[in-house]
Amino acid sequence: METIKLYDIDAYETEFEAKVVSCVKQESVNASGQTGMVYEVVLNQTLFFPEEGGQTPDRGTLGGIPVFDVQIRNGIISHFLPEPLEEGRLVKGEIDWRHRFYNMQQHSGEHLFSGLAYKRFGYRNVGFHLSDQIVTMDFDGVFMKEQLEEMEWAINEAIAANVEIKTGYPSKEELKRLEYRSKIEIDGPVRIVGIEGYDVCACCAPHVHRTGEIGIFKIQSVQNYKGGVRISFLCGFRALEEYRKKAEIISELSGILTTNQELLAENVSKLKAEKQSLKSRLMNANRIIMESKIENIPKDQTNVLLFETDLDTQVMRNAVNMLMEKHSGICGVFAGNDEEGYNYIIGSKNADCRDVAAKMRTELGAKGGGSAQMVQGTVHADKEQLMKLLKAMK
């Protein structure tokens, strides 16, 4: 028999009792590749919303044991626990209300935006993902910046209006007369979530009772995605938590730069320009120093290797090209130190540098590659090892 979905009856309940229908021990593999035993528990009824409709499952406990995953298949809801529960016993379940309510705020906010996007622009929501780290919705059309700002404002007006959010299972006859959004074909009863004036949509997830409980709707980012856009957003308490984080960062930056928030962007731009100017001047100074060092190397020397603590890649490349013009054998420039390793560029006009790179990989664990004339990469070895290996090559 299908599991009775108590969250459909009342999404605001946090405790329930249920009978353990089955408890099956099975092996599982975690993200690190380690194996362990878990217990798949099926109840006759549950308040736990499973992973479904782009939303991650509820958290909570069964008989005091943490539930770390909830899945649904063919109407049967499975709870995954680290410990077993005896079949046939009555067990008390508790939902993590904070997690549930946060998800309800996000999902109800998504319905407001998606419904209004369809009404105003004809854009369809073609993807939705609600996890503990990110909330995104995908649309099959592209919004202009001004349109998104207008939409965001309109959603928050709908939240302030405190519109009732109704859920239910209309009859087949009622469904035929009802215009509603749905991303998939649904077999069996269809649960409809309606927000008058904004949205009517098929949805299986718990929602808040009224739009005012969403709190606030804030777009976080927008990116082009599969011919449309992917919008990241947050609602309610999760939006508040994110705002607090950003406010702390801004306050800290204001203190570091000894400026007020309004001038932060201007001051950061100035610092960025100054950094680029200093970088260019340093690169030019390093180039002059390297040219001077190269001029003082005896012209008949082969396998010339130069070691520096810090060099820009372009300066290293220019130096290797200069060495190759004046010296035969292997010419290399290494930037770094023995403790942290080196970035390297090696070139030669009469040796195959791919052989050099291969020998460095084999004997010193170096990374990198390139052409017969020039290779580059990184290596964790000391200067003495590198000089001994490379000067022995012809």
Q: Rounded to an integer, what is the distance from CA 12 to the centroid of its chain?
A: 30
Has residue 113 got a pLDDT over 90? Answer: yes
- Above 90 in pLDDT, residue 341? yes
Burial of residue 339 (CB within 10 Å: 0-12, 13-18, 19+) is exposed
Q: Cα dist. 38→68, 79, 85, 273 in Å? A: 10, 10, 11, 56
Q: Domain span at residue 353?
A: 298-391
Summarised one tens digit per residue, pLDDT across range 288-302 is: 999 999 999 998 888
Tell me: pLDDT of 33 over 80: no
Interval 120-149 mean pLDDT: 94
Instruction: Say yes or no: 115 and 241 in one domain.
Output: yes
The pLDDT score that the predictor gives to residue 83 is 95
Report how many domains make up the chain.
3
Do 104 and 244 share a domain, yes or no?
A: yes
Q: Which of 219, 248, 277 is a domain's end point?
A: 248
The whole-number average pLDDT for the span 119-136 is 93
pLDDT at residue number 108: 97
Kindly tell me if the per-residue pLDDT of 98 is higher than 90.
yes
pLDDT at 37 over 70: yes
Same domain, 230 and 109: yes
CATH number at residue 242: 3.30.980.10
Residue 380 has what pLDDT? 93
> What is the structure's pLDDT at 139?
96
Confidence of residue 339 (pLDDT cuts 50, 70, 90): very high
Is residue 113 domain-shared with residue 71, that is, in the same domain?
no
Range from 88-102, 278-292, 340-354 that averages highest in pLDDT: 88-102
Does residue 255 carry a pLDDT above 80?
A: yes
Q: Are residues 61 and 32 in the same domain?
A: yes
Query: In which band, very low, low, confident or very high, does the pLDDT at 31 lie, cut at 50, 70 and 90?
Result: low
Question: Both 80 and 151 in a single domain?
Answer: no
Instruction: Evaluate if residue 315 carries a pLDDT over 90.
Output: yes
**Mean pLDDT to the nearest integer, 188-193:** 89
Which one of 95, 123, 139 terminates a domain?
A: 95
Is residue 273 situated within a structural domain? Answer: no
Average pLDDT for 330-341: 93
Residues 106, 74 within the same domain: no
In a domain, 127, yes or no: yes
Q: What does the pLDDT read at residue 394?
A: 61
In a domain, 238, yes or no: yes
Average pLDDT over residues 34-53: 92
pLDDT of residue 300: 86
CATH value at residue 61:
2.40.30.130
Q: For residue 356, what pLDDT is reported?
A: 92
| Strands of 217-225's sheet in order across | 125-130, 135-139, 228-235, 217-225
Same domain assignment for residues 8 and 66: yes
pLDDT of residue 30: 64
Whether the Cβ atoms of residue 207 and residue 117 lie closer than 8 Å to each other: no
This prediction has a pTM of: 0.74
Residue 281 lies inside a defined structural domain of this protein: no
> Angle 121-126-132 (CA atoms, 0-180°, nearest 5)?
115
Residues 79 and 139 reside in one and the same domain: no
Share of the chain above pLDDT 70, in %: 97
| Average pLDDT over every residue of 41-53 | 96
Q: Show the tokens assigned to 265.
A: 């962007």
Question: What angle, 0 to 180 degrees and rounded to 10, lies between the N-to-C axes of helices 264-295 and 236-256?
Answer: 60
- Looking at residue 245, its pLDDT comes to 93
Other Cβ atoms less than 10 A from the Cβ of 30: the count is 9
Look at residues 57, 73, 95 and tell me which one is the last residue of a structural domain.
Answer: 95
Cα dihedral 199/203/206/211 (nearest 10): 0
User: What CATH number is associated with residue 319?
Assistant: 3.10.310.40
The overall average pLDDT reported for the chain is: 92
Q: Is residue 15 part of a domain?
A: yes
| Averaged pLDDT, 181-201 | 85
Predicted pLDDT at 184: 67
Give CA–CA dist 51/71, Å, rounded.
5
Q: Tell me, yes or no, whether 343 lies in a domain.
A: yes
212 and 124 part of one domain: yes
* C-alpha to C-alpha distance for 13 and 189, rounded to whole angstroms: 23
Contact 360, 379 (CB under 8 A): yes
Residue 383 has pLDDT above 90, yes or no: yes
Q: Kindly report which listed range (39-43, 109-113, 284-288, 340-344) carries the lowest average pLDDT score.
A: 284-288
How are beta strands 331-337 and 35-43 bridged, if at all?
Answer: unpaired
Q: For residues 106 and 198, state if they share a domain.
A: yes
Q: Is residue 268 part of a domain?
A: no
345 assigned to some structural domain = yes
- Residue 186 pLDDT greater than 90, yes or no: no
The rounded distance, in Å, linking the Cα atoms of 203 and 208 is 13
d(CA 328, CA 289): 22
Question: For strand 45-46 and strand 4-5, is the pairing parallel, antiparallel, or unpaired?
Answer: parallel
Least confident of 260-264, 357-361, 370-374: 260-264
Q: Are 61 and 85 in contact (CB under 8 A)?
A: no
Say if residue 74 is in the same domain as residue 151.
Answer: no
pLDDT, tens only, 259-289 = 888 888 888 889 899 999 998 898 899 889 9
Dump pLDDT digits (tens) for 65-93: 999 999 999 999 999 999 999 999 999 99
Split at pLDDT 50, 70, 90, the class of 391 is confident
